[in-house]
Amino acid sequence: MFSYMGKILRVNLSEGRVSEEDIPESWLKKFLGGGGLATKYLYDEVKKGIDPLGPENKLIFMTGCLTGTPSPSTGRYSVVAKSPLTDFWAQSNSAGFWGSDFRKTGFDGIIFEGVSPQPVYLVVEDGKAELKDAGYIWGKSVPETTSLIKEKLGKGFNVACIGIAGENLVKYAAILNDEHRAAGRCGMGAVMGSKRLKAIAVKGTKTVEIANQAAFTEVAKKQYALLEESILKIAMETFGTAVVLDMVNVRGGLPTRNWQTGTFANIEKINATAINEKILVDRKNCFACPIKCGRVTEIKTGPYAGSKGEGPEYETVGACGAMCDIDDLEAITKAHYLCDDYGLDTISAGSTIGFAMECYEKGILTKSDTGGLEINFGDAAIMIELIHKIAKREGIGDLLAEGTKRMAEKLGKGTERFAMHVKGLEMPCYDPRAAKITGLGFMVANRGGDHITAYIQAPTFLNMPFLIIEESTIEDIFAENPQEAKVVKDLEDALTFFDCAGGCKFMGMSLAAEEWVELIAHATGWKFGIDEFRKTGERVVNLARAYNIREGLTPADDSLPKRLLEEPLPEGPAAGHVNNPAPLLEAYYEFRGWDKATGKPTPEKLRELDLEELIPDMWGK
């Protein structure tokens, strides 16, 4: 089978048994791989209503059909499970080199089921897999775990693992590979920790066979050449993801002080230029990536001087900086390092701390609740201390480890109106009051408050059309135009395709859909056109929606926090604006072919997408 290894590993942790099985070719043609194929397994094998941290949940690692091939930025893999943070469908995605290295072992994915009686890790090497005792690395940080495993197994192994946040079941714990690349969102590290699975070490020599190698290579070379002239590449390579901080702030859309305002006064202290001038040491790329948007950094002054690592990325600067009203770049960078070491999602960590700061500001959290800590906005030292406490579930950190939704449910006193999440997932750092269509993207994303299911921010702050879809320009970012809801739908479909193929979305949205279609066709030997490109992403979006519907999701869950609906931004270009997303949501449902009353994919839509087997679950007929 071209472009696939054709096999997955199934690991029953309860029994300590590892087996392998073939992947149905019909599934590969429908879902391609990655997040799509993993979602198919999750839907079919995980029962309704299970405990996300219980033995019945399954943790599914899956590479895409292009992962590990010599085409631009195709080193990504997806992790899918039921989320302990949202109780809905979850997918997290990571790059680096682990995905391509895993494929060299001869497999496309792994399904972990059950719970191990004691801590273990999995070793996969050239077609063989074995569980090993992880007692000696349980309780270790991500870098320590990675180093100890490599020391024990020898050179050439790549490691994906959890830190102590995952072991302690922090609801937004992450899985780290290559030490600094994170499958960060939705708490996949907590699911891994609940199974007492510490790590997956991989090494192999196998290659991905391509159906039409010469034609594939020609298209890939053309893509690399086009990317060399891409504005996105130039900006990201020079400044990293933090390049957009000033753009978002200047339009009044950078969430500050837990979304109380959208402008951060001291942006010049923490923006991309400051990173380059103060802490940047080198630039780093992922597998087959021509961009090098990764930042290798070192803190050179202050109390954290001498600390080294990677980052911070845009979202860390936003969440641990502006969201907490902190303008200390060294402290923000240290927070990023700590989240990598402990295995924490920086977005949820920073957002939850910002929420706690507002609760303290309003007197809802007091010193008696915090163990004597004063959790004030702008206090960099307390932000660092809270990250330690969250990962270890110490004191007030035990509450913060649950995320903003559960915190608000426990605290009450009106906190739910400024608990900034959608479906339980903390939102990224783009205020939709300053770019209305962004709010729709957050509302309807299957995994909750999410910025990359439909990377709507790029058209809104750059006003640039994506090459992968047509008519992607937003006419007025302050207007809620129902017709523009189709942009969200089209971006979701296109960008979900990249999660299935194993490609980076930064690269994906820089190139024409026709070129990606050619890569898939040449790699697999299948007939694969623009229609298949669109339908693959749309099929997976609808499958994940069906999973959520089965778990109890209703249109009421496609909503924004009350703060965004009722509290106008106080200053900046978007001053006076709130979100009124109802017309956008209604139009989105119509473009999607979903029932407006229930939010369910209609039987007609499911048949159109070759998902008719879901109709009984959705409609009882």
Q: Of the candidates 387, 420, 453, which is a domain's last residue?
A: 420
Q: What is the CATH number of the domain that holds 525?
A: 1.10.599.10
Model pLDDT, residue 464: 54
Evaluate whether residue 426 is within a structural domain.
no
Helices 485-501 & 436-444 angle (0-180, nearest 10): 50
Give the separation between CA 143 and CA 158, rounded to whole angstroms: 12
Model pLDDT, residue 458: 67
Range 244-271 average pLDDT:
96
Structure confidence at residue 116 as a pLDDT band (50, 70, 90): very high
What is the four-CA torsion angle of 366, 372, 376, 379, rounded to 10 degrees?
A: -170
Range 110-129 average pLDDT:
98
Range 599-612 average pLDDT:
98
The model's pLDDT over 329-359, given as tens digits with 9 standing for 90+, comes to: 999 999 999 999 999 999 999 999 999 999 9
Instruction: Supply the mean pLDDT for the chain.
Output: 95
For the chain, state the CA radius of gyration.
22
Same domain for 370 and 410, yes or no, is yes
Same domain for 413 and 437, yes or no, is no
- CA 159 vs CA 16, 101, 127, 176, 235: distances in Å: 20, 10, 17, 8, 30
Same domain for 189 and 314, yes or no, is no
Model pLDDT, residue 407: 98
Range 139-149 average pLDDT:
98
* Residue-range definition of the domain harbouring residue 70: 7-203
The model's pLDDT over 403-417, given as tens digits with 9 standing for 90+, comes to: 999 999 999 999 999
Give the separation between CA 473 and CA 451, rounded to whole angstroms: 17
Model pLDDT, residue 472: 63
Same domain for 317 and 266, yes or no, is yes
Same domain for 368 and 450, yes or no, is no
Evaluate whether residue 234 is within a structural domain.
no
Q: What is the CATH number of the domain that holds 357?
A: 1.10.569.10
Helices 380-392 & 329-342 angle (0-180, nearest 10): 0
Pairing relation of β-strands 197-203 and 59-63?
unpaired
Evaluate whether residue 445 is within a structural domain.
yes
Q: Of the candidates 420, 441, 466, which is a domain's last residue?
A: 420
Look up residue 51 and give its amino acid: D
Evaluate whether residue 438 is within a structural domain.
yes
The model's pLDDT over 457-472, given as tens digits with 9 standing for 90+, comes to: 766 655 555 677 766 6
* Those residues with Cβ within 8 angstroms of residue 99's Cβ, 6 or more apart along the chain or in another chain: 63, 67, 68, 75, 76, 77, 177, 287, 502
Same domain for 30 and 84, yes or no, is yes
Range 238-255 average pLDDT:
95
Model pLDDT, residue 465: 58
Evaluate whether residue 515 is within a structural domain.
yes
Share of the chain above pLDDT 70, in %: 98
Give the separation between CA 185 and CA 163, rounded to whole angstroms: 15
Same domain for 258 and 186, yes or no, is no
Same domain for 437 and 496, yes or no, is yes
Q: Of the candidates 377, 396, 420, which is a domain's last residue?
A: 420
Range 54-77 average pLDDT:
96
Evaluate whether residue 226 is within a structural domain.
no
Q: What angle do CA 169, 175, 180 make, to 5 degrees?
A: 130
Same domain for 399 and 445, yes or no, is no
Same domain for 443 and 415, yes or no, is no
CB 568 within 8 A of CB 575: yes
Range 293-299 average pLDDT:
97
Q: What is the CATH number of the domain that holds 186?
A: 3.60.9.10
Evaluate whether residue 236 is within a structural domain.
no
Model pLDDT, residue 462: 54
Over 533-548, what HEC string results? HHHHHHHHHHHHHHHH
Total tally of structural domains belonging to the chain = 3
pTM more than 0.95: yes
Same domain for 520 and 383, yes or no, is no
Same domain for 71 and 135, yes or no, is yes
Model pLDDT, residue 463: 55
Evaluate whether residue 427 is within a structural domain.
no
Share of the chain above pLDDT 90, in %: 91
Range 13-37 average pLDDT:
98
Q: Which residue did the predictor score with more confidence, 190 or 236? A: 190
Range 279-306 average pLDDT:
95
Burial classification of residue 613, based on how many CB atoms lie within 10 Å of its CB (0-12 exposed, 13-18 middle, 19 or more buried):
exposed
